Amino acid sequence: MSRVLGTESEVLALSPDASSSKAAQGLRLPGKWPSTGSNDVAVWGECQGSGSKPYQTQVDLSGPSFKCSCPSRKFPCKHGLALMLLRAGGQVPEGSEPPVWVQTWLDSRQEKAEKKEAKAVQAAAPADPQAAAQQQARRENKRWEKADAGLQELSLWMQDMVRSGLANQASNAQARQRWNTMAARMVDAQAPGLAARIKECWDWVDSHPGWPRDVLAQMGHWQLIVDAVRRRDTLGPQVKTDVMAALGWPMDKAEVQAAGLEVDDEWVVAGLYTTEREGRLMERRVWLQGLHSGRMALVLDYAQGGRGFESAWMMGRHYRCALHFYPGNAPLRAIAASGNGAAMNAQDAQPLTDSATSSGLLQLSQRIAANPLQAIQPLWRANVRLTAVEGEWFAAWPEYQEESTTLAASTASLPVPAAIPDADAWQLLALTGGAPMQLFGEWESGPQLGRWRLLSAWQTRQGDLGQSAQQCIWHNQGETV
């Protein structure tokens, strides 16, 4: 059997919501499926519903991509999930030839892929390269001018808020509308990346005691982008690429593969964070730790209108694949051009040791110095303790020299604000008994210290062969404060 979606946890990771998972569990009975089959390319089956004609369900394993004749608007639907759960449990025959309705669908997908590839090749080789380059330059200049005009408005808006006092935003009845209007203006200015940051930042207003500090930190990042766009003609190619990424300008997959660095490694899922954008667009940030390269990577996945994510990344699991990093200084964002594949078996995976994550602060400082426009940075820290002060959570760890062979702890560092739901924080304290632990999260620079959104917690455990390895004991289940 193909290892793609070969386990129950991998299948359920694609579920659009909890109700779909529950419904799929109720359909994973062979008696509800008059016919099923699979090969190395696809899985198919007919599920008997309330009507006389069974629903035709099929899965292309190369995506994976789901199709079902049921009227559900969720993707994948409960029938697709149930079929793959049956297959994961060894209840779907293997090696059979697909029926006509499945083969027709597979052929149409292949035809569309070939046409798309041919179109990309044709676009990559224009009839007149010089004319095409000039046309591209004109389009790019016009885009920069639109962004510059919109960002000047953003700068004035921020100055007005700081002049009147950020705390007044919490008591201003029209504040939300003004923030939404500015976010819409950024979309018009072709800066969707800033529009998303503005909407996310508004959610912090009056959400916790230190919210003015966090909002001011975000505004500092926005002003950096404003200044960079204004001085774009003096920037080097790498810095200019970072500015374009901060504005949210997309880059084709082919461009990333051609211009970005390829790193083949064994990647551990260190953190997952899912948030909802405008128009029922779900964004999932997947943070990966390379065990051999020592690199951190960020894979962004999107799902629209209740559809599930196409790639099944599971917290704490290991994947062997090649990632292509976006060009720029200290790049983090990457794509798995050929997919992440199935999670590795525990006996084949290299353990995540303390040495792989010990230089978290050093790497953080190097990345921020290389690209200060990247607002969110990954951060590992060991020997961390959580404490609550006046309704806000803080994290503190001992100070020691990075990369030291003898990590002799000295005095505790100044606690930093930690974003974590109250229930999860108390759960962590109960799981660890208050003992130090290793935490991973998203670091956002700010006044004085910054802010750390916690995504996972790890503790050292002894393996079967006596080696010590970090194991995930908690991970973020959704959006935090």
Label residue 218 exposed, middle or buried (CB < 10 Å: 0-12, 13-18, 19+): buried
> Quick one: average pLDDT of 219-238?
94
The pLDDT of residue 467 is 67
The pLDDT of residue 304 is 77
**Across the strands, what pairs with 440?**
380, 456
Residue 316 contacts residue 472 (beta carbons within 8 Å): yes
For the chain, percent of residues with pLDDT exceeding 70: 90
More confident residue, 454 or 113: 454
Helix axes 175-188, 129-164, angle to 10 degrees: 160
Residue 68 contacts residue 49 (beta carbons within 8 Å): no
Of 268, 244, 386, residue with least CA distance to 327: 244
More confident residue, 278 or 90: 90
For the chain, percent of residues with pLDDT exceeding 90: 52
> Which amino acid, 218?
Q
Phi and psi angles of residue 392, each rounded to the nearest 5 degrees, phi first: -125, 140
More confident residue, 27 or 117: 27
Would the pLDDT of 401 be above 50? no
Give the contacts of 251 (CB within 8 A, at least 6 positions apart). 245, 326
Would the pLDDT of 415 be above 60? yes
Residue 386 contacts residue 395 (beta carbons within 8 Å): yes
The pLDDT of residue 230 is 95
In the block, residue with structure tokens 């599930």:
308
> Quick one: average pLDDT of 147-160?
96
Mean pLDDT of the chain: 86
What are the b/e assignments for 169-189, b being 16+ CB within 10 Å? beeeeebeeebeebbebbeeb
User: Hey, what are 477's tokens?
Assistant: 């289940």
User: Hey, what are 447's tokens?
Assistant: 């006044």
Would the pLDDT of 400 be above 80? no
> Quick one: average pLDDT of 349-358?
84
- In the chain the first and final C-alpha atoms are separated, in Å, by 42
Would the pLDDT of 79 be above 90? yes
User: Hey, what are 441's tokens?
Assistant: 């999260």
- The secondary structure of the chain, three-state, reads CCCCCCCHHHHHCCCCCHHHHHHHHHCCCHHHCCEEEECCCEEEEEECCCCCCCEEEEEECCCCEEEECCCCCCECCHHHHHHHHHHHCCCCCECCCCCHHHHHHHHHHHHHHHHHHHHHHHHHCCCCHHHHHHHHHHHHHHHHHHHHHHHHHHHHHHHHHHHHCHHHHHHCCCHHHHHHHHHHHHHHCCCHHHHHHHHHHHCCCCCCCCHHHHHHHHHHHHHHHHHHHHCHHHCCHHHHHHHHHHHCCCCCHHHHHHHCCEEEEEEEEEEEEEEEECCCEEEEEEEEEECCCCCEEEEEEEEECCECCCCCCCCCCEEEEEEEECCCCCCCEEECCCCCCCCCCCCCCCCCCHHHHCCHHHHHHHHHHHCCCCCEEEEEEEEEEEEEECCEEEEECECCCCCCCCCCCCCECCCEEEECCHHHHHHHHHHHCCCCEEEEEEEECCCCCCEEEEEEEEEEEECCCCCEEEEEEEECCCCCC
Q: What is the pTM of this model?
A: 0.78
Question: What tens digit of pLDDT does each residue of 162-216 get?
Answer: 999 999 999 888 999 999 999 999 999 999 999 999 998 998 899 888 889 889 9
The pLDDT of residue 410 is 47
Distance CA 420, CA 392 (A): 9
> Quick one: average pLDDT of 9-28?
86
Of 156, 222, 213, residue with least CA distance to 193: 222
Residue 399 contacts residue 411 (beta carbons within 8 Å): yes
The pLDDT of residue 112 is 83
Question: What tens digit of pLDDT does each residue of 94-133 get?
Answer: 988 999 999 999 998 888 878 877 766 665 555 577 777 7
More confident residue, 280 or 57: 57
Distance CA 101, CA 107 (A): 10
Label residue 374 exposed, middle or buried (CB < 10 Å: 0-12, 13-18, 19+): buried
Would the pLDDT of 43 be above 80? yes
**Across the strands, what pairs with 334?**
325
The pLDDT of residue 307 is 67
Would the pLDDT of 463 be above 70? no
In the block, residue with structure tokens 């211009």:
259
Question: What tens digit of pLDDT does each residue of 307-341 get?
Answer: 667 777 888 999 999 999 999 999 999 998 777 77
> Quick one: average pLDDT of 260-284?
88
Phi and psi angles of residue 347, each rounded to the nearest 5 degrees, phi first: -70, -20
Query: In which band, very low, low, confident or very high, does the pLDDT at 406 lie, cut at 50, 70 and 90?
Result: very low
